[in-house]
Structure 1
Amino acid sequence: MSDDLKNIYAMAKRYHKHGVVKDETLKTVEARIKAADIPDVRPMTGEEIKEVRQRWNLSQSVLARTTGMSVESVSKWERGESKPNQAVLRIINMISDKGPEIFLS
């Protein structure tokens, strides 16, 4: 969290304590601060997607199932014929950073 956001949050909590800021407003500030901490989706080339899949020892079928896409889509991403949408790319980013175990219950 940036220093500016820390200062805004601290100020909102102080004002809340004194009754100047309502509960709903404090919750809104907290939600926006949490949202600001979500990293941007990192773009990935087909080669990078393939590297992530191989690093975690995943088949194209398993990556397809994890992302809710088809094996054909995964194959096209890896060959550079198409690109995954932002939601799928976020999933692949998460697998890259934390491994596929994050999707196990």
Structure 2
Amino acid sequence: MKTKTEKYKSKRLGVAHRLAKDLDSVGMIDKWTMRELDVRALTPVKPLSPAKIVSIRRREKASQAVFASMLGVTVSLVSQWERGEKKPSGPSLKLLTLVAKNGLDWVA
């Protein structure tokens, strides 16, 4: 059973990655190779500047409150990101990266 949805750089890389995961599950690919494929196929996560976060939110025509609600974080945290007081990391950074790529409707 699939527990999470993965986003790929392209549809072809997605197909190749899913095939490799199936081969890995039966022991036909080693862990090192699978990690290499993860890096090459999955959407990369890069740090986002405060201005970029504001730009993403404004492009999506969302208030800080709506943006925060859609991302599952507090309005205060979005405000801190936009002022540069805190930097998004981990799952929040990944989610922001995907929203930048696919739009806010993607998380709705």
Q: With structure 1 as the length reference, what TM-score do the two structures score? A: 0.67
The separation in 2 between residues aligned to 1:69 and 1:26, in whole angstroms, is: 40
RMSD across aligned C-alpha pairs, in angstroms? 2.9
Partner of 1:44: 48
Q: Would the alpha carbon gap of residues 59 and 28 (structure 1) be closer, same or farther in structure 2, given more than 3 Å must change?
A: farther
CA contact (8 A) 2:71 2:107 kept: no
Contact 1:47 1:78 survives alignment (8 Å):
yes
The equivalent of 2:38 in structure 1 is: 35
1:41–1:86: 8 Å Cα contact kept in structure 2? no
Map 1:76-95 onto structure 2 (within 5 A). Answer: 76-95=80-99
User: Distance between the aligned counterparts of 2:24 and 2:45, measured in 1?
Assistant: 33
Give the distance between the partners of 1:73 and 1:56, measured in 2 at CA: 18
The structure having more radius of gyration, on CA atoms, is 1
Corresponding residue number in structure 2 for 1:5: none
**Structure 1 residues 63 and 27, CA, compared in 2 at 3 Å: closer, same or farther?**
farther
Deviation string for 1:35-81 (max 9, x for gaps)? 23113211101111000000111111122112221101100110111
Q: Which amino acid aligns with 2:26?
A: E
1:25 aligned partner: 27
| Structure 1 ranges of 4+ moved more than 4 A | none
- Per-residue deviation, 1:27: 6.7
Aligned pair count reads 85
For structure 1, the residue ranges without an aligned partner over 5 or more in a row are 1-8, 14-20
Give the secondary-structure state (helix, strand or coil) at the position aligned to 1:39.
Answer: coil
| Higher helix proportion | 1
Unaligned runs of 5+ in 2: 1-15
Q: What fraction of aligned residue pairs are identical, expressed as a percent?
A: 26
